[in-house]
Structure 1
């Protein structure tokens, strides 16, 4: 019975948490170019880090990176201070979003590589946004 519950509710819980992380922060900032830039940076860095780790397809790695970019942007928007970003927070949020997206898409069966791809996206976004 416990295995049936895990197999039934865990995928829907992961999908709901991913939708909350990626879609809800993007709605109020739909006209904001910063969220689109972070999603693009995340997708590009996800493709590059996926190539380095040799895990998943280009589309899967781009999706993981884009989700990490949206999550990092949302996490910094929730703090209310987008100019003073925290590297540790960006890396952890990116890794969590990459792991969650990788679990949902199933392109790469190694959670560590999914976390590495998301963390790389969070790091690139942090470096890009703090260079100004």
Structure 2
């Protein structure tokens, strides 16, 4: 009898517990509520920076800037006071994210340009967020 109960109830119990764990909504750990705005600002800044430099495609520059925006948002979400933003840190995080994203998407063709695009995105996010 014990073996029959294990074969009957254990699979359904396992499936119910997995469904309960995966369907429970969770709040993001280190991002604030305006992540899409930061990704959009970063993408726009990346496109503008790439156009000024005359390098890279519009889509690739938007991806680098969007990744930099998400990274800046994530770092600023870890602060105790999210309004206490640091321009140097936002530029540094954006530059690092732009460099890494450029290395992944383009294979280190123009690393300095990727870093510049990410830094521009971080600076734009900092300026626009502190203005509000």
TM-score by length of 1: 0.74
What stretches of structure 2 of length at least 5 have no aligned partner?
1-26
What stretches of structure 1 of length at least 5 have no aligned partner?
1-26
The CA deviation at 1:115 is 0.4
**2 CA distance for matches of 1:126 and 1:104?**
25
Runs of 4+, deviation exceeding 3 Å? none
**1 CA distance for matches of 2:33 and 2:108?**
30
**2 CA distance for matches of 1:80 and 1:44?**
28
The CA deviation at 1:40 is 0.3
Could you report, residue by residue, the CA deviation over 1:45-83 in whole angstroms, capped at 9, with x for unpaired residues?
A: 000001111121000000000000000000001123211
Number of matched pairs: 105
State the partner residue of 1:82: 82
State the partner residue of 2:51: 51
**2 CA distance for matches of 1:116 and 1:95?**
6
TM-score by length of 2: 0.74
**2 CA distance for matches of 1:42 and 1:34?**
12
After superposition, the Cα gap between the structure-2 partners of 1:107 and 1:62, relative to the gap in structure 1 and judged at 3 Å, is: farther
**1 CA distance for matches of 2:48 and 2:84?**
26
CA RMSD, 1 decimal:
1.9
Could you report, residue by residue, the CA deviation over 1:81-105 in whole angstroms, capped at 9, with x for unpaired residues?
A: 2111000000000000000000000
Residue 116 of structure 1 pairs with residue 101 of structure 2: no
**1 CA distance for matches of 2:90 and 2:126?**
7
